[in-house]
Amino acid sequence: MRREKRDGMQGSDSGNTESETSPNISSRAGPHDISKSWCEGPAQPKLQSFPKTFQGGARRSFHSDWYKSHPWLEYSQLNNSAYCFACRHFSLPDAPRTVFTSLEGYQNWKKAKMKDSGFCSHARSESHVNAMFAWTENKKTMDKNASLFAIMDEENKKQVTENQYYIKTLAEILVLTATENVAQRSHRETSDSEKKGIFLSMLDLLSNHNPVIKKRLEQQAKNAEYTSKTIQNEILECLAGMVKKSEQFSVIVDETRDVQKKRSYYSGVVHESFLEFEVAEQMDAAALSDKIINFLEKHGLEYKDNLVGQGYDGAAVMRGAHAGVQAKIKGVAKHAFYVHCSAHCLNLVIVDSVKSVADAGNFFSLLERMYTFISGSYVHNRWLEVQREMFDGAPRELQQLSDTRWACRHIACRNVMDRLPAIVQVLEEIASEKHPQRAVEARGILAQIDLNFAGCLVLFRKVLSDSKYLSDLLQSKTVDYSKVVELVESLKETLIQYRSHDSFEEMWSETLELCTRSSIETTQHKPKRPRVTSKVLQGSVVASTLGQHEVPDNKHTFCVSVYYPVLDNMIGEIGRRFSNTSCNIMQGVQALNPSSQTFLREETVLLLAEAYDSNTEDLKHELHQIRRVLQRKKGQKESPTTLMEMTQFLDPYQDVFHELFRLCKIAVVLPVSSASCERSFSTLRLIKTYLRSAMTEKRLSSWAVLSIEAKRAKSLDLDEFVKCFAEQHGNRRIQLL
């Protein structure tokens, strides 16, 4: 049946909507509480009681049961009238007007159900039959279209799900290869190449076992496979960006070229995260500080207010008080206080202590010479054989010494002390051989392994073990500065305790036991020529040393010339190198540590508050309130015992203790050590090998983030990654959302 567009229906305010939706379907006027458009359906309210009017000697009303027998009925509560939905919206343009399409509607309830009038009479009319036919056809068409739309929508959802699965698979392959430092690409990456790289090879392998991946690779257009280097770089960058989030933060910088890390407080946890490798074209303070500031701006880090600390090693260009990098950065970020790397400080304590005591320097020089001699191929083979004969377990190697390797002296002393009997036996065997050069060198080393050497070995094994424990903790990603102060003071107290007669006697007994076990003589048989004062000084009062070194050969001499000087130098160097722990900021940090004697002491906390521009009046009230809160929590499991626990304890109450919580966040992110920067150098060597030397800096940094932060990278929410990637990458070949 042909339908024409109806134009200009009087009283209708829905003509535009109808013509746009279905241009061949008409509309009739009516009150605004019934349907305005055919797509709304009949208005059929079901009231508990309808309004009654006096008709034919009785009070009569409309009944909702009539909807069942006449589904085309509409009822207007405003007019208390009935209308025909079909005739109002689907009648022909030339169809006659009836009361059911009029503005007033049908209201004669007495005759509504009569056979020859009312609803039944209207239902038999030709115009109504035509309208009902048109309505039925329209419903069939709409149901068919709805079914088609549903199928298309379902297919679209299925396609999006497959696309998301595919892009997640690509991300998982890149995360796996990045965290394992495996090369991702190859020289030739064409489909027919035998060696197309790990990334494409793993994707091909997965396609053999996964029909979704196989379908994508075989049926997808080449420009929508998302395996190009550009897409790989975008995925790596997106994944790396998800690893890096923070509030308050500190920046830690070191150079192999240049590497930067960020120690930040985020969601109740302190994170120390690698950010990026940067190429430093110039190494002066101005260029390096500009590089760091530009770097922070590039990553969207609010450094002017949130940068609360800088951590570098002791290089002059970095630590200069007036023209160094730290001074220039503090000029633009007033809260970025400089903290010298604690691990470097501890290493300098050991190095300077060794250099200042002649016998200690000679001892470590002998260890280095011993390492060089035994590492030679011929001697080394015999060294391994003797160890297998004398000791259970795997053979040990001697350790090479270095001023920049923090644990090397401890390892060297430990291995030599544990394997000294084997070292003596190897040297004696080599000394008796006919090879003149090796024999002479072996006899020279053997002659210096005496009581003095054994005493130094026991002494340094003991003190370096204690400092090694502190060194390991200082290199931890989670240690905070309040803990550093505690650990340094603990080491200092331990060294002071060693400086006692009982401790020396214990050490000397261990020395004699080592000499007995290693067949080292403990008595001096050779007579010594007495020292004679220079004739130039005869008759003069000598008030200083003459530079004549006395080699200790007995218990008393060793105690006076080696034992006490080494301990005194280490204690003095600790006090000097870690003197910054007594400054206002460090005192304030300690006052936030629940295990400190100055915990929540107002005048001490205010020192830290003033340095970081806190509201001191609010802070005083907060300190008073938090003492009362902690007093009620005392003895309970949730009572904090460390600075980090204190920060986490305040997290739910941060709106109440705003200033105190801010200071705690600052305290836990102050940089302790640049050791993590040192560790990232190793990752750089694993990633940027000789065969991968042409890798761009952007890809290198994204890869390095995933490799160094492997634990966090493997736990990323890939659904969140898909959203992030879909938003960042504009030219989409496949639909992801």
User: Which tens digit of pLDDT belongs to each residue from 384-413?
Assistant: 999 999 998 889 999 888 766 657 888 999
Residue-wise pLDDT tens digits, 178-217: 888 777 777 676 766 777 778 888 888 888 888 888 888 8
Residue-wise pLDDT tens digits, 69-109: 999 999 999 999 999 999 999 998 888 989 999 999 999 99
Helix (H, G, I), strand (E, B) or coil at 544: coil
Question: CA 233, CA 240: separation in Å to the nearest integer?
Answer: 10
Q: What's this model's pTM, rounded to 2 decimal places?
A: 0.57
pLDDT classification of 44: cutoffs 50, 70, 90: very high
Q: How far is CA 122 from CA 25, 117, 128, 132, in A?
A: 20, 7, 7, 12
Mean pLDDT calculated for residue range 49-61: 91
pLDDT classification of 530: cutoffs 50, 70, 90: low
Identity of the amino acid at 359: D
Cβ within 8 Å of residue 713, ≥6 positions away: 175, 178, 179, 239, 243, 705, 706
pLDDT of residue 13: 35
pLDDT of residue 127: 93
Name the percent of the chain lying above pLDDT 90. Answer: 27
Mean pLDDT of the chain: 80
Mean pLDDT calculated for residue range 439-463: 93
Identity of the amino acid at 660: L
Quick one: which of 660, 623, 663, 349 has its CA closest to 487? 349
Inter-residue contact 457 to 416 (CB < 8 Å): yes
pLDDT of residue 135: 92
Mean pLDDT calculated for residue range 591-596: 86
Q: Is the pLDDT reported for residue 265 higher than 60?
A: no
Residue-wise pLDDT tens digits, 684-693: 666 776 666 6
Looking up tokens 């959203």 gives: 723
